[in-house]
A and B are shown apart, each in its own frame.
Chain A
Amino acid sequence: MHIAPAFSCLEILDAVYYGLMARDDTNALQDIFVMSKGHGCMAQYAILEDLGILTPGDLEEYCTPDGMLGGHPDFGVPGIAASTGSLGHGLSISLGMAYAEKIAGTNRRVFAVIGDGEMQEGSIWEAIMLTPNLDVRNLVCFLDLNDFQGLGRTSELHPHFYPVAQKLEAFGWQTAEVNGHDTEAIHECVRAHSNTGPLFVVARTVKGKGVDFMENVPIWHYRSPNPEEYRYAMDNLSEVTE
C-alpha cells in the first residue's frame, strides 16, 4: 500500500480538484486530471469519494476481489482519466489529451502529477521537449518533489536532477515553485500563470506528510501499517487537521 506517496501529493490534488478544475453549469468537472504517479492514487480515491464520484463502499472494498479500486488507477473507474501505475506514461497521455482539446477549440485544461523519481524516465523528457513545440498551453504539470523515490533520496541518487525548474525553462515551459502542501499558494501560482505556454509547477513536498513516523522514511514508500501504527497514524492525522 503506497501511503506516503499519497500523503505527499494530497494538497496538490486538493488544490486541483477544489480550486483549479473548471466545472460546467451542473457543477460537473470539465477539466481533466491525470495521476501520472499512479501509485499515489489513494489520495485521488479519497477526493473522488468526497466529490460523490466514488462511494464510501468503493473505498471499503479497495484492493479486494469484490471492489473496483486497485493499487493503481484504472481507466473505466469513475473519475479516472487514464490507467497509470507504470511510471513515465502520464505526461505523454496528458499531452495528447491537451492537444486534442486544443484542436477541438475547447477551453479544457489538463492537470497532471508526476513524481521526482518518475521524472527519471526518458519518456517524461520526450513529453517535456515536445509539449512547447506543439504550442500546447492548456497543460499544467505538477512535480511532486519530495526528494524520495523507491530506494532512497533523489538528491543522493541523482544530484544533477537539481535544479529542476531551470531545465524546464530551457525547454520552453513556464515554471513556478511552490510549497506543495499549501493549497492557497498552489491556487495562486497557477492562476498567476500567463497562459503563454505550458506550466510546470515544482511543488516541494514531504513524503508521508502528516504522519510523523512516515515522513521522509523510505520504507513507508510501500509498507502497510500494522494495527498499532495505524491507530497512532490516525491520531497523528487528526492532530494535524485540527
Chain B
Amino acid sequence: MRNRFAETVYRLGQEDPRICVIVADISPAGSIEKFRTEFPDRFINTGVAEQVMIGMAAGMAQRGLRPFAYTIATFALYRPFEMVRNDLAYQSLPVTVVGIGGGVVYSTLGGTHHAQEDIAVASAIPGMTVISPCDPLEVEYATEYCATQSQGPVYLRLGKAGEPVLTEDAVEPFEVGKARYIRRGRDICIMSYGMTMKQAMDVGGELEKQGHSVSILCVHTLKPLDTAKIAEALGDHDHVVIIEETSPHGGLGGLVKQVAFDEKADCEIHAFSLKDEFIHVYGSHQALLAAHGLSTDAILEKIHARIGKD
C-alpha cells in the first residue's frame, strides 16, 4: 500500500504544485524518493518530531498548499493528537494524515506500535474523514481524493507493503463516503475494510464452499459512514458479519449495530474485531491477528456456531 501511495503522490505532485509531503523520519520509500529529488521544496522531513509535522502542515494548508503528513499510524495520530484536532480539524484544513501500519501490522514491535484504536480516535474528531483502503487500487483512489478535496482533514489508514489486489473485479466502483459491494450474494454479508478484507474474502470463500451465498461489502470510508448502504445490506441478508482490525469500541461493528437498531433490522449480526486489550504477543501479523481472535479459522468456527454448518 505504501508503494502505491508513494507512486500516486508522485504522479499527482507532478501536475499539482500545491501537493507537499511531510514525513517524520519515516518514509514510504519507492517513488517518494523521486518526489523528493524533483520537488525538494515540497518535501520536508521534520525529523523525529510529529507535532511540528502536523502543526506545520496546518500552516501550509492555510497558505494554500495540500500537505500529506506521513509516518507510522500511532505517531501520526496519537503523539500530535491535539494538533490534528485543533490545527487541522477545528480549522477544516485539507491535510491528509497518513498512518502506515494501521492495526497490529507492526507485529514484532509491541503495543507502542499498534494503532489498534486509531479508527475510533480519528472518527471521534468532528469534521474528520476516515478512510481505510483494502488494497493498492483503493489506495490510489483514496490518495487521489485526498489530493483534490477541500472539505477538511482526512485520516488515511494504510497497511504496509505488498498487499494483494482484492478489488479488481469489484461489482461497484470506489467512491469516498460510499460503501461498495466487491461481490454480491444473498444470505450472508461480510463487511470489512483495510487489511482484514483479506480475512473477509477467505471467510467468504469458505462459506460459499459450504453452500451459502455471500456478499462482500467494502466499507473503506468509516467516516462519514454510508449508513444508507449499510441499512440496505442489513435488510437484504439474514446474517451480517463484520471483520475489522481495530478496537471493539468505536469501530464498524458498533456502528452497524446502531444502524440495525435504528432500522429495526431483523438479521443476525456477528462482529469480529481486535480485543479491547494490549496483548503482549510478538510474531507475524497473522499470529497477532490470531491472538486477537481474528484468524480465518476462529472466525469461521464462531460463525458456524451461530448459523450451523451444512
Interface residues of A (CB under 8 A from B): 1, 38, 62-65, 67-72, 74, 76, 83-88, 115, 117-122, 149-151, 157-158
B interface residue count range (under 10 / 10 to 19 / 20 to 34 / 35 or more) = 20 to 34
Total contacts A to B, CB within 8 angstroms? 85
From B25, B79, B110, A74 is in contact (CB under 8 Å) with: B110
The answer to whether A69 and B282 have CB atoms under 8 Å apart is yes
Q: Chain B, 14-52, contact with A by CB distance < 8 Å: what is the 0/1 string?
A: 000000000101110000000000000000011111111
Name the contact of A68 in the complex, choosing from B50, B52, B280 (C-beta under 8 A).
B280
Q: Please, which residue of chain A has its CB at the minimum distance from the CB of B79?
A: A86
- For A62, what are the chain B residues with a Cβ–Cβ distance below 8 Å? 282
Contact of B111 with A65 in the complex, beta carbons under 8 Å: no
Task: Please tell me if the beta carbons of A117 and B52 are within 8 angstroms of each other in the complex.
Answer: no
What would be 23 A-B contacts, judged by CB atoms less than 8 Å apart? A62-B282, A64-B282, A65-B291, A70-B109, A71-B108, A72-B109, A74-B280, A76-B280, A84-B112, A85-B110, A85-B112, A87-B48, A88-B48, A117-B48, A118-B48, A120-B47, A120-B48, A121-B48, A121-B49, A149-B25, A149-B47, A150-B25, A157-B45
Q: Are B113 and A150 touching (Cβ within 8 A)?
A: no
B59 at the interface (CB under 8 A from A): no
- Smallest Cβ-Cβ distance to A73: which chain B residue: B110
B104-144 interface mask toward A, CB cutoff 8 Å, 1 = contact, 0 = none?
Answer: 00101111110000000000000000000000000000000
A70 to B113, CA, bound (A): 11
Q: Is the CB of B112 within 8 A of A86?
A: yes
Q: Is B185 an interface residue (CB 8 A)?
A: no
The prevalent SS among residues of B at the interface is loop
In the assembled complex, which residues on chain A have CB atoms less than 8 Å from the CB atom of B283?
63-65
Q: What is the distance, in angstroms, from A83's C-beta to the closest C-beta of chain B?
A: 7
- Closest Cβ of chain B to A14, distance in Å, is 24
Q: Which residue of B lies closest to A221 (CB)?
A: B25
Across the interface, do A74 and B111 meet the contact criterion of CB distance under 8 Å?
yes
Is B113 touching A63 in the complex (CB atoms < 8 A)?
no
Residues of A within 8 A of B287 (CB): 65
Shortest distance from the beta carbon of A121 to any chain B beta carbon, whole Å? 6
Determine if B75 is an interface residue (Cβ-Cβ < 8 Å): yes
Contact A83-B47, Cβ < 8 Å, known A70-B280, A151-B25: no
